[in-house]
Structure formats: structure tokens, C-alpha cells
Amino acid sequence: MKINTTRFGELEVEKKDIITFDEGILGFENLKEFFVVDPGDQTLILWLQSAEDGATAFPIIEPKIFKPDFAVNLLPAELNSLKLENLSNASVYTILTIPQDVTTMSANLKAPVIINNQTKKARQIVLQDSKLEVKFEMYNELKKYIVSYHSDDSVRTTVTMKNEPTVVEQTTETSQAPINHNSAEL
């Protein structure tokens, strides 16, 4: 199916890649269907794009990338709500807040997004651990990881972009790299 998005233009998404949030995402409870978009840059930040509202997309990242000791402990009822016995067949992401000053970007460790990789059912679950932060500043840790990371982006998503993103401007007058005015430069 074709989905028009504000950030990425028109995307071709297979039905099997749609992730369903029965309860929505905190603050966006009316939106139930999403898919993951990998913009193919070197930030390791993915986007949880709404299939129902092209203007709604959340920057997400695997918390283990910048916080290797991050652990999610779900209650049996939470696992059951996702039809999971444990997290071995799940993806765990944190939603990022990326302000104008990217060096103060933060991750919501308190309420990660958990996706059952088989059923494509997902929930944003508020964890009971009082030590977890809603605004964990993680720019420096992410930057260290990116410097030493090499990725094969082709294995992270099957969503294909029909057109080049409209947010990228290229110049042929100088030897500058493309400039993306809407995403954070690390």
C-alpha cells in the first residue's frame, strides 16, 4: 500500500510491515497503525511512522545502542498483552526527543515501545522501575557508538522510498555533502 508522509514523501509499505498498537501511543491513543522507516543515514535513528496520519512520526532507537545495560522487565500481564513469553522475539525501542540543540536530545527509558516481531502487535509500556528516566540525555553515548559502528541498513527495514525525501537539499556548486535541515546532525 502507498502511504503519503510529511517527512518521507510517498512510501510503499507492505501490509505485513504494519505494527498495531491496540492502545495507541501515549498522547496519540487514536493512532493504532505504524511502521518503521529507516532513513538510511548514519545516526541509527529510525522513525515510527503512523500509517493513518502522514504528519505523525516518532524518532526511535534501540536503547542498547547508547545504554548497553538497559534492561526491560515486564510483568506477566504485560508480556501476555503482547502474546510474548519473554522478550527474545521482541524489538525494544525508546522514543527520542530531538530539540533544536541536538546535543540535549533525550530518550524516554521509562516508557519503551515493545514490538512482538511475529504478530506485529506493540505497546508503549510505562515501566515500574523508578530509576528509569523519561528524558535520559544520551547524545554523547550515541555519538561514541556511531563513530565505531558500521551498518548494513538493508537488513533493518523493508519499507522502500518511492521518491527521494524532499527534506534533503543538494548543492552542485561546492563539494559539500547533502544537508538535511529536518534531522539532527551528530
In-domain check, residue 75: yes
In-domain check, residue 29: yes
CATH code of the domain covering residue 166: 2.30.290.10
Measured between its terminal Cα atoms, the distance across the chain in Å is 33
Containing domain of residue 134, as a range? 2-180
Please state the domain count of the chain.
1
Digit-coded pLDDT (tens) for 158-178: 665 555 444 433 333 333 333
In-domain check, residue 41: yes
In-domain check, residue 185: no
In-domain check, residue 186: no
Predicted pLDDT of residue 147 = 79
In-domain check, residue 19: yes
Predicted pLDDT of residue 34 = 98
DSSP label of 128:
S
pLDDT along the chain (186 residues), means of 10: 93 96 96 94 91 97 94 93 93 96 95 97 94 92 78 57 45 37 44
Predicted pLDDT of residue 150 = 56
In-domain check, residue 67: yes
In-domain check, residue 132: yes
SS3 track for 49-105: EECCCCCCEEEEECHHHHCCCCCCCCCHHHHHHCCCCCHHHEEEEEEEECCCCHHHC
